[in-house]
Structure 1
Amino acid sequence: MSNSSSFCPVPKEQQPINEYQELQSSWFFGWVKLEPSKYITKLLWVGAWSLIVTAPLAAASFPIAKYPIQFGVWAIGGSLVFIALAAIRLYLGWIYVKNRLYGESIFYEESGWYDGQTWIKTPEILTRDRLLVSYEIQPILHRIKTTFFTLIGLAIAVVSYWLLFVNW
Structure 2
Amino acid sequence: MLEAVSSHFATVSQTLCPVPADQRPINEYRDLQGSWFFGWSMWPLPRFQRRLALLWGMAGVVSGPLAIASMTSQAAPAKVAVAGVLGANLFVLLVVVRLILGWLYVGDRLQRPTVIYEETGWYDGQEWPKPEAELAQDRLIYTYELRPILQRLRVTLIILLLFSVSLIGLWGWL
Q: TM-score, normalised by structure 2?
A: 0.88
Deviation at 1:68, TM superposition (A): 2.6
Instruction: Please give the per-residue CA displacement for 1:54-88, whole angstroms capped at 9, x wherever unaligned.
Output: 11221023468973312211100011110011001
In the alignment, does 2:99 pair up with 1:90? Answer: yes
The 1:64–1:101 alpha-carbon spacing in structure 2 relative to 1, beyond 3 Å, is farther
2:126 to 114, 117, 125: 117
1:13 to 19, 22, 32: 22
Structure 1 segments of 4+ aligned residues over 3 angstroms from their partners:
61-67
Q: Partners of 1:61 and 1:23 in 2: how far apart?
A: 38
Deviation at 1:25, TM superposition (A): 0.9
Task: Tell me the equivalent position of 2:85.
Answer: 76
Letter in 2 for 1:51: G
Q: Partners of 1:71 and 1:159 in 2: how far apart?
A: 12
In the alignment, does 2:172 pair up with 1:163? Answer: yes
In the alignment, does 2:153 pair up with 1:144? Answer: yes
Q: Partners of 2:36 and 2:27 in 1: how far apart?
A: 16
Q: Does the CA-based 8 Å contact 1:80-1:155 persist in structure 2?
A: yes
The 1:118–1:72 alpha-carbon spacing in structure 2 relative to 1, beyond 3 Å, is same
What SS is found at the alignment partner of 1:17? helix
Instruction: Please give the per-residue CA displacement for 1:115-137, whole angstroms capped at 9, x wherever unaligned.
Output: 22110000000000001110011
2:70 to 61, 67, 73: 61
RMSD, aligned CA: 1.8
Q: Partners of 2:120 and 2:36 in 1: how far apart?
A: 28
Task: Tell me the equivalent position of 1:24.
Answer: 33
2:47 to 38, 42, 65: 38
Q: Does the CA-based 8 Å contact 1:98-1:137 persist in structure 2?
A: yes
Percentage of identical aligned residues: 39
Structure 1: runs of 5+ lacking an equivalent: none
In the alignment, does 2:114 pair up with 1:105? Answer: yes
What SS is found at the alignment partner of 1:106? strand
Structure 2: runs of 5+ lacking an equivalent: 1-5
Deviates more, 1:58-67 or 1:136-145: 58-67
The 1:96–1:66 alpha-carbon spacing in structure 2 relative to 1, beyond 3 Å, is closer
Q: Does the CA-based 8 Å contact 1:62-1:68 persist in structure 2?
A: no
Letter in 1 for 2:151: H
Task: Tell me the equivalent position of 1:127.
Answer: 136
